Amino acid sequence: MKTKYILILAILAFMASCKPDIDEFEPSSGNADFTSYVAVGNSLTAGYADGALYKSGQEYGWANLLAQQLKKVGMQGEFKIPYMPDDNGVGFRGTHPVTKLILGYSTDCLGNTSLGPVLADPGADPSVLMANLMKSVADQGPFNNIGVPGIKVGHLLFPGLGNPALGPGNFNPYYTRFALHPATDVLIDEAEKVDPTFFSLWIGNNDVLGYATSGGVEDSITNPLLFEGLFKAVVAKLTSLTSKGVVANIPTITAIPFLNTVPYNPIPLTDSLAGLLNDGYLIYNQMMEALGKDYRIEWHEGMNPMVIEDKYMDLPAGFEQFKFRQIKEGELVTLTVPQDSIKCARWGTVKPIPDKYVLTETEIAKVDEAITTYNAIIKQVAEDNDLAYVDMAAALEKAKEGIVIDGVEFNTKYITGNIFSTDGVHLTPQGNAFVANLFIDAINKKYGSKIPKVVVSEYPTIQFPD
């Protein structure tokens, strides 16, 4: 009798342990060799996010996510990253070092408290941050992720990129920290140190972004002919190390929340206030009419477009101080425009919004033209060198309309769009997973490989405070 019970129990245990066996995914490297992977690029490749380079951001960087998947198709060893020492990280406002941004509460000039990006540690000592950043990790190298925040294509080839002797603002401390000889090392030469069999190259964003994010004031757009020469030189260097790799192009600037968040018409006016302002601008309008120009500044009840500086205005000599006008729909205002100044200091109504916060239609056209030209070059060079190609611009254009993956809703809106982090330019972990899959798709397509995709829902989005 007893054996009968044991038998029944054994059968039950057997049945419970029988799990459905689903066909396994069969990864394959196709005709590529992923033994050693090097990631070359700017802040996006470095894993910069929330306005700073910090440790978990680097871990969540798309290049690292890609590398973890490449381990399943033959990558050997660790994907080495020059990690920052902590999770507050270091970013810059101008030349002033700050921690990363998080979502938090701040109170505006009207006394209203609201949720928005605030510094993770507003009281952080700048000299400590700078010391954290400059502390060399070069002895932990060579590194597989040699992405350096802020670099343009030319910086990859520039000896002394990490040379502190050039003085603040003239060298890149993110390279200094992992260069063996900061004074002389050339960034692209770091690639050779890991004997790469595969590379990724995503560069060129800063060749226009610096111009775009400073409202077309600071920095300049890299001349397309120069860009072409530099980009080709970089690819030639990389393809001399290995013939297999992937390159990505540059998304349009209207895809980034840094430039698509602040509305052109954020000024609420009552009928009487609008009337007062119209009286104030009477002379401006009369003068423009006398000059035979179409510029008019007009106010009405409801939401009104801001008054902005525009150095490209077509006015005769001697009228430079009148180079301001009302912004047009489609012109872009940066995320960094001081909201308090608009709310309480009459910016946008009485005082024109300074040029550095606005991309006018003239400036947008320049940026768009540069990106179109760069992307044509990137695509051509990818084809000429038989490399995989990620059309990031097309992917983000699609994301503007909204894309859903694994129940995660992606779009290019600030905070709620899940792609872009609190700085409005760089990626969230979920955004990095989204981008990693774009790279995987492109590589699989080109090399007939089967790199498993990452699951985007496994990665965090922007965190809200309790």
Partner 1 sequence: MKRIYYFLMLLAIFGTSNIYAGGYQVRLQGNKQNGFGLIGTPLNNGAGSIFYNPGALSFVDNKINVDVGASFIMSNVAYRSLDGDYTAESDNPLGTPFYLYTSYKISDLISVGVAAYTPYGSSLVWDKDWAGKFLIQDISLEAIYIQPTISFNIDDVFGVGVGFVYSFGGANINKAINLSNNSSVNLEGKASGIGFNVGLFFKATDELKFGVDYRSKINMKLDDGNVTFNIPGSLEPILGGKDHTFDTELPLPGNLDFGVSYQMNDKLMLAFELDWVMWSTYKQLDFTFDNDEESPLNSSNPREYKDTFTPRLGIEYKLLDNLTVRGGYYYDPTPTNEKYFTPETVSLNSNAFTLGLTWSPLEFMDIDISYLQTMGKQSEKTYEPANFSGLYKTVAYVPGFGLSFKF
Contact residues toward partner 1 (CB under 8 A) are: 12, 15-16, 18-25, 27, 72, 103, 105, 115, 403-409, 418, 430, 452-455, 457-458, 460-466
> 24 or 78: whose CB is closer to partner 1?
24
> 239 or 418: whose CB is closer to partner 1?
418
Minimum Å distance from CB 399 to partner 1?
13
Helix runs in 248-330, H state only: 257-260, 271-280, 282-291
Minimum Å distance from CB 8 to partner 1?
9
Which phi and psi angles does 257 have, rounded to 5°?
-60, -25
> 24 or 329: whose CB is closer to partner 1?
24
Residue 2 corresponds to which tokens in the numbers above? 């007893």
> 74 or 204: whose CB is closer to partner 1?
74
Q: Label each residue of 317-380 as H, E or C.
A: CCCHHHCEEECCECEEECCCCCHHHHHHCCECCCECECHHHEECHHHHHHHHHHHHHHHHHHHH
Minimum Å distance from CB 374 to partner 1?
30
End-to-end CA distance of the chain: 60
Minimum Å distance from CB 56 to partner 1?
12
Q: Residue 203: CB partners within 8 Å, gap ≥ 6? A: 40, 41, 42, 151, 152, 153, 156, 231, 234
> 293 or 453: whose CB is closer to partner 1?
453
> 9 or 350: whose CB is closer to partner 1?
9
CA 396 to chain CA centroid, Å, is 12
Q: Residue 91: CB partners within 8 Å, gap ≥ 6? A: 48, 50, 51, 52, 53, 97, 98, 99, 100, 101, 423
Residue 253 corresponds to which tokens in the numbers above? 């600037």
Minimum Å distance from CB 346 to partner 1?
30
| Token pair 């925040």 in the structure block, residue | 149
Helix runs in 292-334, H state only: none
Residue 146 corresponds to which tokens in the numbers above? 């040699």
Minimum Å distance from CB 271 to partner 1?
31
* Spatial separation of the C-alpha atoms in residues 298 and 455, rounded to whole Å: 51
Minimum Å distance from CB 21 to partner 1?
7
> 282 or 455: whose CB is closer to partner 1?
455
Minimum Å distance from CB 4 to partner 1?
13
* Spatial separation of the C-alpha atoms in residues 254 and 262, rounded to whole Å: 12
Q: Residue 368: CB partners within 8 Å, gap ≥ 6? A: 252, 253
> 249 or 444: whose CB is closer to partner 1?
444
For the beta carbon of residue 145, count every other beta carbon within 10 angstroms. Answer: 27
Minimum Å distance from CB 363 to partner 1?
35
Minimum Å distance from CB 407 to partner 1?
3
- CB-side exposure of 30: number of CA atoms within 13 Å? 18
User: CB burial class (10 A; 0-12, 13-18, 19+) of residue 308?
Assistant: buried
Minimum Å distance from CB 419 to partner 1?
12
* Spatial separation of the C-alpha atoms in residues 225 and 243, rounded to whole Å: 25
Minimum Å distance from CB 341 to partner 1?
26
Residue 445 corresponds to which tokens in the numbers above? 């397509």
> 21 or 294: whose CB is closer to partner 1?
21
Closest to 297 measured CA to CA, from 317, 311, 277, 315: 277
Q: Sign of the CA dihedral 142, 54, 67, 386?
A: negative
* Spatial separation of the C-alpha atoms in residues 32 and 210, rounded to whole Å: 35
> 233 or 403: whose CB is closer to partner 1?
403
Closest to 359 measured CA to CA, from 390, 330, 386: 330
User: CB burial class (10 A; 0-12, 13-18, 19+) of residue 8?
Assistant: exposed
> 137 or 405: whose CB is closer to partner 1?
405
> 24 or 294: whose CB is closer to partner 1?
24
